[in-house]
Amino acid sequence: MRSRYTAYSLANIPYIQKTMRGKAAKNYDAQSAFTWASSVTWLGLIIIDAPKPIGKKGTVTFSARFSEQGIIKNMDEKSKFEKIKGEWFYVDGTTSSTA
């Protein structure tokens, strides 16, 4: 999770794509993600909840803070991860953003 935040802060979209599978990967628009990630200033990440995974499935709830066009915003998400062949991948998430 933290590595994906760092990748977004650096607009390292190839890494983001490499760490996705399933529904998340199918619906991902790399160009839009790069444009957006490059246009914001990342200010911090707070992990709200990261319970121990159950089998090959896990979740992480977080809040990421960023500045977009001079407005401070928060993006809250409950991310779903799945362990595939020994590696964890982002597979889905529920987000909300506030200014």
Q: What is the pLDDT of residues 25-66, one digit of tens each?
A: 998 999 999 999 999 999 999 999 999 999 999 999 999 999
The CA-atom distances, in angstroms, between 60 and each of 56, 68, 77 are 14, 24, 8
Pick the CATH number of 2-98 from 2.40.100.10, 3.10.450.50, 1.10.760.10, 3.40.50.970: 3.10.450.50
Q: How many CA atoms lie within 13 A of 46 on its CB side?
A: 7
Q: Is the pLDDT of residue 2 over 90?
A: no
